[in-house]
Amino acid sequence: MFALQIFVCYNLDHDIARKGENVLFTSVHQERNFKNIISQIKQAIISGELKVGDCLPPEGDLTQGVGVSRASVREALKALEAEALKG
């Protein structure tokens, strides 16, 4: 199972949607947006770009950075939370 311990928090002084010159998340297509968002977050964890205790970008930044609706971002975050609770 996949343990998720990354927190969504707000940091107004730093754009955490970007790490250096590399974009942490990319745009996704309309079909199954939330699954694509989940996949990108998991890949960021696996690759080490996100570590335990790191903050995800605020919901609005994720929405803009990935190019999806807030509903898709919320659905992805809820699914990740539910998965973490099961594991």
Instruction: State the DSSP H helix or E strand holding residue 18, giving kind and residue range, or none if neither.
Output: strand 18-19
- In this prediction, residue 13 carries a pLDDT of 40
pTM of the model: 0.64
What does the pLDDT look like over 37-61, one tens digit per residue?
Answer: 999 999 998 999 988 889 888 899 9
Structure tokens at 18: 């970007």
List beta partners, residue 19. Answer: 22
Neighbours of 25 (CB within 10 A): 21
